[in-house]
Amino acid sequence: MPQAFLTATADRRSVLGAALTGLVASLGWPTPAHATAASAGIDDLLDLSARAYGTIGHSVAVLRRGRLIYSRHAGLSDRKTGAPITDASVYPLFSISKLFLVVELLKARRAGLIDLAEPLGAIRAGLPSAWTGITLAQALAHVSGLPDYIPDHVAPSEDQAFAAIEALPLRFAPGTRNDYNQTNFLFEEGARTGDTDAVDGSGRKSVPQRWDATD
């Protein structure tokens, strides 16, 4: 279910939280006979979310088994001009794209192209010693304990991100806590693209460059 929100202060986690709230509302959609009541329930939930998060506009589509069963466009795409939200409005994806990244990694694992038990040190060279034994699986599960490179929602380059946190201690022992953080996704993206400085004994990169077999 693609859903995006425009907020006065676009906080990523608030936006994603509101999106997931809409997703929960779509689960267990009953039958066409109950569509009116279910639609009204989603309308009420979206109105509640708009008030809670300061949403100025949203577009929502709910699909069940590939069939569109609910859609709504409401609010403004530009508060200054008063332009309304329409079915042609374009939204930033924010963290929704991360879900697709995780799916690609799991497809690659199923195809035997990556090993989730691989240590992060095999994905990127020159890491602090405390990081090297942390696994890709732990990064995927957000139990890595890595310091967060983007606590203030500033988006540096990858090299800048690592430079900013490499001297910081782990936030907790890997595997002992769950804590969502952006640094994990740097390694996940590195595993997906094979954009790594680490090489094996043959001189080739340790992560495949193309995952055509996962399609």
pLDDT tens-digit series, residues 124-140 = 999 999 999 999 999 99
pLDDT of 9 above 80: no
Least confident segment among 1-10, 47-56, 177-186: 1-10
Least confident segment among 14-18, 95-99, 113-117, 182-186: 14-18
Pick the more confident residue, 40 or 155. 40
Per-residue model confidence (pLDDT) at position 160: 87
pLDDT tens digits for 66-104? 899 999 999 999 989 999 999 999 888 878 888 889 999
| Residue entry with tokens 């042609």 | 88
For residue 165, how many C-alpha atoms fall within 13 Å in the half-sphere facing its CB?
23
Q: What is the mean pLDDT of the chain?
A: 77
Per-residue model confidence (pLDDT) at position 18: 44
Q: Please report how the helices 182-193 and 96-110 are oriented relative to each other, as an axis angle in degrees rounded to 10.
A: 50
What whole-number distance in Å separates Cα of residue 118 and Cα of residue 140? 12
Per-residue model confidence (pLDDT) at position 97: 85
Full strand arrangement of the beta sheet holding 83-84: 3-7, 55-64, 67-78, 83-84
Burial readout 24-58 (b: 16 or more C-beta within 10 A, e: otherwise): ebbeebeeeeeeeebbeebeebbeebbeebebbbb
Per-residue model confidence (pLDDT) at position 157: 82
Instruction: Calculate what percentage of the chain has a pLDDT beyond 70.
Output: 71
3-state secondary structure 35-88: HHHHHHHHHHHHHHHHHHHCEEEEEEEEEECCEEEEEEEEEEEECCCCEECCCC
Pick the more confident residue, 152 or 188. 188
Per-residue model confidence (pLDDT) at position 145: 96
Pick the more confident residue, 32 or 190. 190
pLDDT of 203 above 60: no
Q: What is the mean pLDDT of residues 47-65?
A: 90
Least confident segment among 4-13, 39-48, 160-169, 181-190: 4-13
Strand partners, 7: 55
What is the identity of the amino acid at 115? D
Question: What is the pTM (predicted TM-score) of this model?
Answer: 0.58
Q: What is the mean pLDDT of residues 172-201?
A: 78
